[in-house]
């Protein structure tokens, strides 16, 4: 079962990478750009889980233990199929 974990900076936390991307895009001539936030996406293949709920629970545990720093980052999990 493939699971996707999104890790994004929490609202209110400074995101220098997002600011750099916004700056780069405006230098390239893109206008009308509001907030840009950059996060990580982790695609996991969980070979031992066939139940979607169990797989999501495992992925949440992985995210809170390793993938995300919950002081400054939020995460969400979804089943890819």
Residues that bind its own copies (CB under 8 A): 6, 8, 18, 21, 24-25, 28, 30-49, 58, 61-62, 65-67
Cβ 27 to its own copies shortest distance, Å = 9
Q: What is the dihedral of CA 51, 53, 59, 65, to 10 degrees?
A: -130
Where is 76: in which H helix or E strand?
strand 73-79
In the complex with its own copies, the residue whose CB is nearer, 11 or 71, is 11
In the complex with its own copies, the residue whose CB is nearer, 45 or 53, is 45
CB 5 within 8 A of CB 64: no
């Amino acid at each position: 079962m493939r699971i996707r974990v999104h890790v994004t900076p929490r609202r209110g936390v400074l995101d220098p990478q997002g600011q750099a991307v916004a700056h780069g895009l405006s230098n390239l001539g893109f206008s009308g750009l509001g907030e840009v936030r950059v996060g990580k996406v982790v695609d996991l293949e969980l070979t031992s889980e066939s139940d979607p709920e169990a797989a999501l629970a495992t992925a949440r545990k992985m995210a809170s233990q390793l993938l995300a720093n919950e002081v400054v980052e939020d995460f969400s999990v979804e089943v890819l199929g």
